[in-house]
Structure 1
Amino acid sequence: MTDSRDDGPMVTAKKNSDELTAATVPHAQGSSAVARAVTINKPVTEVYAYFRDFSNLPSFMENVVSIDTPDRARSHWVVKAPGGTTVEWDARVTEDQPNALIAWTSEEGADVPNSGRVEFRDAGQRGTVVTATILYDPPGGTVGKLIAKMFQREPAIQARRDLRRFKQLMEAGEIATPAMNRKQFEEMGL
């Protein structure tokens, strides 16, 4: 008998993906599931260390305004939401396996109840496979999820973009942007 499992995120399963994903997240909160993966050409120790310092996350997470960390287990998140507003929550780390896994859950009273895990897997010469799995309850339910998608603030969209920016930052030391720099403005006479 062959094993039909693979190393893709559980949320990519064709059947019961939300339930399967929730089963992999300790202290799961949230009815919608998102999972994305990226391979970063850096050693797992370096990738994990950068991500584990939560104060680094706003450097590549586009909608994260700030993260305050009173200690290694707790954090306070402020995140941009549609319509120029922000949402906030307190989170606590529920599992931390150095160079392998960080899992969290939001605390009671979160504007967006959520939980998830980020896995770091050594990929040998290819670097590190980073898989982010997020469960969340969108504010406003299905309508709120649709509005967030229209404003490009929906977690599935953001997870893909944020992981791409994380890869760029770790591999190149900067995030590519279509914005013009000062020299380009000067060359155009602007």
Structure 2
Amino acid sequence: MIEIHHTALACAPVAAAFDYVDDYRHVPTWMFGITKFDPIGDHDQGLGAVYDAAMKVGPKTLDSVVKVTGWERNSVIELESIDGLYTHSRWQFEPAGETETRMTVDFRYDLPGGLAGKALGKLIEPFVAQAIRHTDATLRRQVEQSAKHSS
């Protein structure tokens, strides 16, 4: 299992940061490599919502179906895959002053065993650092822009 922990500070109130991340339509615009993040069924937000996701890693596209397994407004969004590549992510939102939000993500994923898993691991390894940098910068910028437009 590969685990990633990252914290970023956004110049936006907690409610604005949470609402932006919680809106599935924004996910492909800020999460590096995500090419699809579509709701399955009528429930498209909150606890129990399910999404069909695809991530492009180099020449390979990895498919996954993820379910919201933890959700508390302005505090936590937790997703876990129920089909495809195993992933688990937990996003936490905490006020850092009146107009800033500390966003913390813990992300885990499992690769398949054997030679296929080793080959995929070598493909993903350089991608992870780049993905974190891109996602951090893009998400902070988009959250901050969204907060400015809504105030």
Scaled by the length of structure 1, what TM-score is found? Answer: 0.66
Query: Structure 1 residue 96: deviation in Å?
Result: 0.1
> Which entry has the higher C-alpha Rg, 1 or 2?
1
Is 1:147 aligned to 2:123, yes or no?
yes
Mapped contact 1:102–1:118 kept (Cα < 8 A):
yes
Cα distance between partner residues in 1 of 2:64 and 2:123: 20
- Does 2:25 align with 1:50? no
2:10 aligned residue: 40
Cα distance in 2 for partners of 1:62, 1:32 equals 17
Query: Unaligned 5+ residue runs, structure 2?
Result: 147-151
**1:22 counterpart residue number:** none
Identity of aligned residues (%): 20
In the alignment, what sits opposite 2:87?
114
The CA RMSD measured in Å over matched residues stands at 1.7
CA distance in 2, matches of 1:141, 1:32: 12
Query: Is 1:149–1:157's contact at 8 Å kept on the other side of the alignment?
Result: no
Q: Which residue of 1 aligns with 2:75?
A: 100
- After superposition, give the CA deviation of every residue in 1:60-97 in whole Å (9 maximum; x if it has no partner): 123111110132211110110222x2111111010101
What does 1:1-190 align with in structure 2 at a 5 Å threshold?
A: 31-70=1-40, 71=43, 72=45, 73-83=49-59, 85-108=60-83, 110=84, 112-125=85-98, 127-139=100-112, 140-150=116-126, 152=127, 154=128, 156-172=129-145
2:149 alignment partner in structure 1: none
Greater RCO structure (CA 8 Å; 6+ sep): 2
| Pairs aligned (count) | 137
